[in-house]
Amino acid sequence: MGMFDQYRPTPDLQCPECLASGLEWQGQDGPCALFVWQQGQSDPVDQLVPDECRSPGDVRADARLPVRFEIFAECRCPTFLRAVGFTENGTWTRTELLSPANAVAYSHESEREFRRRLAACLAHPGHAG
């Protein structure tokens, strides 16, 4: 996998299969600069790089998440989970496990592939492909 960001949903999301929490959420819809995002914050709260490689403060302060973004985690049970984060006025405000109600087709996905992914999502909440 290439670059990513790390995400900390609040409240913590549990695995729907085994109810585990404290999962490590990652995603590639944000800046992908190894930033750490905390739900409820506008700016990244950390960056997972050595001090000499950190982005300047103004770059971190200008970084924002998109209005809708997907994150993922692998549980110990093992279940692969996907969730959707939402921002309002530049601040990450809520997170939901991916479901047919909040899923959207990816740009590379055909209608058939999208329906197949939604069927998998219905079979295993939080898992969508």
User: Which of 102, 97, 103, 101 has the alpha carbon at shortest distance from 80?
Assistant: 97
pLDDT score for 104: 86
- Which amino acid does the sequence have at 125? P
45-55 burial, b at 16+ Cβ within 10 Å, e below that, comes to eebeeeeeeeb
pLDDT values of the chain reduced to their tens digit, one per residue, 129 residues: 469 999 999 999 999 989 999 999 999 999 999 999 999 999 999 999 999 999 998 888 899 999 999 999 999 988 889 999 999 999 999 999 988 788 888 888 899 998 887 777 666 655 544
Residue 3 belongs to what H/E stretch?
none
Cα gap 19→29, rounded to integer Å = 26
- Using alpha carbons only, give the angle 42, 58, 45 rounded to the nearest 5 degrees: 40
Q: What is the pTM of this model?
A: 0.84
Listed in sequence order, the DSSP H helices in the chain are: 57-62, 111-123
Cα gap 83→99, rounded to integer Å = 8
pLDDT score for 92: 98
* Cα atoms in the 13 Å half-sphere on the side-chain side of 88: 4
pLDDT score for 95: 97
pLDDT score for 121: 66
